[in-house]
Structure formats: structure tokens, C-alpha cells
Chain A
Amino acid sequence: MARKYAVEGQTAAGTNLTILELIAAATTRGWLYDILIGSDATPADVASEFNIIRGTVSGTGASSPTPRALDPGNPAALLSAKVGATANTKTANSALLNIALNQRATFRWVAAPGGEIVVPITSDNWVGLESIASGGTPNINATFHWEE
């Protein structure tokens, strides 16, 4: 059975800012199947647009949270994560999911079996949540669940 992991991160929304990256491993694919987006900032009507995109260089993260296994009996995750990464390389026209969201709302996308977003076996490639436009800079909280 595939091993399942979770990671979460938070950073301010803005223009072309990477909120959370799920970074490929050299030995296994990752299958991203659950994405949650919300905000813990003071409620306000702020419109933001997000994309799930691909990239080839993960850059420098403001933090690198440790993924947690959903089954505590599983080993540590092979894929890794970065929050608020900068100097990363994004693949043009690689949007895999476009989300327009009011800050007051909470969003969840979950894949049907076989509909997962695939993270290829190529070191430092990543799939991540990008804030491509926002009417403000509210804190955005994101959670990824994946299998590997």
C-alpha cells in the first residue's frame, strides 16, 4: 500500500509568490491527492488567485517543514517541502489547477482515484501552490497530502 504523508505551510499571499512546494525525490514519484487552502488572518474580503504549478528548481525556502506520515508506522517521507520559496524556477504554462478564492473561504481539492497530480522522479523538480495575484497580503495556510 502506498505511504501517505502530509505537510502544511503558511505565508502571505501576493503576486507570483510560492506558498508551498512539494519537492521531488530521486527514487520515487509522488502523487498529490489533497490540497487545502485557507487563511488564519483576520477575516476580510480579499480576492486571491492561486495556481498549482510545476517547477524545475526548488529555490530557497523560508522554512522546510518535515512531512508527517499519516500512518505513524511508516518511514520518513522521501519527498520534501519548502514554504515561501524564492529564487525557484517555475515551468511556464504548467498550471495544473487554477483557484480563485475569497480570503473568507476555505478551499479543498481532492483527487479521484487516478486523478492525482504526479510529481516526477527528477531531483529538485516540484509541484507547488503559487499565489499569482491577490488584492492584499493575507496569510495563506496550505496543506498537501500525497502518496509515494
Chain B
Amino acid sequence: MFGHKNKGPAGFIQIFRPGEAPEELETLRCVHCGLHWVRVPGSGRKRGFCMRCNGVTCGAEACDPCVPYEARIELMEGAKKGQPARKYAEEFQKIEGPERC
């Protein structure tokens, strides 16, 4: 869908095997948890798309609520850097548990 087209890869993988040409792959990154994965068309894995972040999500249930990656990092840090992260705190607590916030 459009989610795969509107952003480039977030990373690249190179695998070197003896006697073979290097294999190169691209990784996408979940806009919520930061998981990197290799897109395999036809794998049957269901991924998601966040309309607010305008990017793909990994498909995990915990990543269905919109807690942007940057906000998640700030909440790990106790939201000391940016006040806007606090509006995501409730959703973050549901995902990570109250002890992290």
C-alpha cells in the first residue's frame, strides 16, 4: 500500500558468505517502537500504518496506539526533554507498564 512507498528504507543489511556475492537488503522501521525488519513480500506478516505518524508500524498489538518513537524515547527518559511527550503517557503506560514512566 502507500505506506511502503512514501518513505525510504531506515537501514541496510549486508551479509557476506564465503564464495558468494554479498547479499544486500533494506530494513523498514516501526514509527512507534523502532523495530527494524526486512520487508518480505508475500510473507503473510501483517504490518500496520499510522496515519498520524505517516509511516509503517511493525504490526504488534502494542504498536496499534499512536505513541511516536520520539515520544516513546522521551517517556523512557522520564519526559524530561519535551513536554509534548506527556500527552502520550497514558498510552505508553498501557504498553510498557507504569514503572517505566
Contacts and interface: CB of A to CB of B under 8 A. Distances in A.
A111 B11 contact: yes
Contacts of B15: 101, 105-108
B36 A122 contact: no
Nearest to B8: A112
Contacts, number: 71
Where chain A touches its partner, the secondary structure class is loop
Given A43-B18, A105-B15, A109-B13, A115 B77 contact: no
A70 interface: no
Contact of B12 (A94, A110, A121): A110
Interface residues of A, number: 27
B50 interface: no
A13 to B, nearest CB: 17
A104 B18 contact: yes
Interface size class of B (residues with CB under 8 A): 20 to 34
Contact of B11 (A43, A101, A115, A121): A115
A117 B35 CA distance: 9
Nearest to A52: B36
Interface in B1-41: 8-18, 27, 29, 33-37
B66 interface: no
Interface string A90-125: 000111111001101111111110110110111001
A115 to B, nearest CB: 3
12 contacts: A96-B35, A97-B36, A97-B37, A109-B14, A110-B14, A111-B11, A115-B9, A115-B11, A115-B29, A115-B36, A120-B76, A122-B77
Identify the 10 closest CB pairs spanning chains A and B, nearest first.
A115-B10, A106-B16, A108-B14, A120-B76, A97-B36, A105-B17, A111-B11, A115-B11, A120-B77, A121-B77
Interface of A: 29, 43, 93-98, 101-102, 104-112, 114-115, 117-118, 120-122, 125
Given A121-B77, A122-B78, 17 more contacts: A93-B60, A95-B35, A106-B15, A107-B15, A107-B16, A108-B14, A109-B12, A109-B14, A110-B14, A111-B11, A112-B8, A112-B11, A114-B10, A115-B27, A117-B36, A118-B69, A120-B73
